[in-house]
Structure 1
Amino acid sequence: MRYLILGCGWVGEYVAKLWLKEGHEVWASTTTKEKYHRLVADGIFVFEQNFDRQATIPTDLPKAFDFILVSIPATHKFTLEELRHRFLHVSLFLQGLTYRKVIFLSSIGIYPDVSKEIDEYTFPEEELQEKLLLAEKVMSQFPNRHIYRLGGLFGQSRIFAKYFQNKVCTTGGQLANFIHIEDVANLITQGFDGQLTQEIYNVVAPEHPLKKEVILASALKYGFELPSSFDDQDSFQKVVTGERLQNDLNYTFNYKSPLDF
């Protein structure tokens, strides 16, 4: 198989190494020289590409791929116009390629913070976060594409308790809508290989403990200091469900609960 990763961040680098181990050909874009050299050393075919500035396809890039993973972020710090420009370039780039399937990585941050059980179709478009929605709408124009809205990403060195050591935690009363990177990688790979019936999928672990419980569990497991205190604020009970993707792929999670991350 020949894979292309546009925007080879943490998730992209993780899955690229898995695909290489399986003997696949992997191409990836990056914006930094440091990552370029690291990915090349791993055996990935890498090209530098900043989609804020250009949409030109490198001359040595194959024009046909089996699967394309698009992990270009719709970052909050950019304006809507800047993001529109970025994803126009992504769109123009993809129009010059052929492929079997595309998966675009979005975020459950697209949903409002409310006390509710949320699936992919709970809210009308006007209630969704406009920057993430803009990116999804651009990607939706392509055939054979699916959008994965990822929950809070953890695993490897990303440990929830690490970010609250000796700090006041104000979000401990909220429910955790998290996902482990191992499960993300499996769900991406199986999504490419399998039959997906929906355009949009939430990608979250099935269990939703309180964030306070996750902090305490991961601090104990990995030896991090506890928060100086828990001062619950905005303790809405938001539960994002990922059953559609789990059912479509008949998937068994490696990490059903963030308490086990």
Structure 2
Amino acid sequence: MIRHISILGCGWLGLPLGQALAAEGYLVKGSSTRAERLAEIEAAGVSPFLVEAGEKVEGPDLGRFFETDLLFINIPPGGRRSPDVEEAYPRKIMAVMEWAARYEVQQVVFTSSTGVYGNEQRVLNEADGLAPSSASGRALQVIEQYLQLRRQPQVTVLRLAGLVGGSRKPGRFLAGRRDVPNGEAPVNLVHLEDCIGLVSALIRKEAFGEIFNVVADEHPTRAAFYTAQAEKEGLEPPTFIAGATPSWKIISNARSKERLGYEYLHPDPMSF
């Protein structure tokens, strides 16, 4: 029975997730690397902690933070802003897992990305092989493999698609750009409310120790989606290179729906 939940990283997803889980009756702790954000975390009904994860995990009250039934690890790799991401990120998560093991945390939920899949011009599911093309994707692949080899704590991996909702306004991403490639490629996106809803369903079902893709049902083209979103925001829509052969993949969410009984609140990105 999960009662206590600690969320490492109360940012775009972690803070509203913590607020939603607290409203469901869980006792939620949440961390930030910035002291000025602790009051915001507390106002959301979440007990605030200052935690810095790097080569070492540091903070004034780490023992109490890691005394939990479930640890939700929500620290992104950092991508281009972190040139040594392929080495530094796995070491960071390994350091976190050592604390989790020390305090005998029973369940860990780790947020990965559908960026671990390659562009194979087909529908991909959790059983398919990984072929990330970016440094951050390769870092996630390394740490996923490490986590799956651990016997304790038990780890659940959520491969999140492109994140939309809340402060992430996709109409701004490509607004005004010219000759954007891959306009006919399908998009793989997920709304913030579905990230939260699926995590809640996962905990209720206690479907731990598995891998789930978290992505909307529908996959409109890149050109259709970003044009519509720019117009929705009153911005100049992008233009796309005509006739280019797209490099693409479609990520299936069938397993998350079947195993968790979850129906996506925002199944079509064109309605985001």
- TM-score w.r.t. the length of structure 1 is 0.89
Within 5 A, what are the aligned runs for 1:39-78? 39-55=41-57, 58=61, 61=64, 64-76=67-79, 77=82, 78=84
In structure 2, what is the equivalent of residue 107 of structure 1? 113
Question: What is the deviation of 1:60?
Answer: 5.9
In structure 2, what is the equivalent of residue 139 of structure 1? 147
Is the alpha carbon distance of 1:79 and 1:20 closer, same or farther for their aligned partners in structure 2, counting shifts above 3 Å?
closer
| Runs of 5+ unmatched residues, structure 2 | none
What is the root-mean-square deviation in Å for CA atoms of aligned residues?
2.2
Question: 2:246 & 2:139 partners in 1: Cα distance?
Answer: 24
8 A contact 1:106–1:132 mirrored in 2: yes
- TM-score w.r.t. the length of structure 2 is 0.86
Q: Secondary structure at the match of 2:64?
A: coil
> 1:33-64 CA distances to partner (integer Å, 9 max, x unpaired)?
23223213333212222111423572661654
> 1:58-117 CA distances to partner (integer Å, 9 max, x unpaired)?
266165423221112233323433223212211111112234432110001111123121
Q: Which amino acid aligns with 1:122?
A: D
8 A contact 2:18–2:44 mirrored in 1: no
Question: What is the deviation of 1:238?
Answer: 1.0
In structure 2, what is the equivalent of residue 93 of structure 1? 99
> 1:119-175 CA distances to partner (integer Å, 9 max, x unpaired)?
11221x5x3443111221233213432100000010123122211121123242211
| Residues 1:167 and 2:169 are matched in the alignment | no
Question: 2:247 & 2:143 partners in 1: Cα distance?
Answer: 27
Question: 2:218 & 2:263 partners in 1: Cα distance?
Answer: 13
| Runs of 5+ unmatched residues, structure 1 | none
In structure 2, what is the equivalent of residue 223 of structure 1? 234
In structure 2, what is the equivalent of residue 15 of structure 1? 17
8 A contact 2:52–2:58 mirrored in 1: no
8 A contact 2:29–2:65 mirrored in 1: no
8 A contact 1:117–1:238 mirrored in 2: yes
Count residues in correspondence: 258
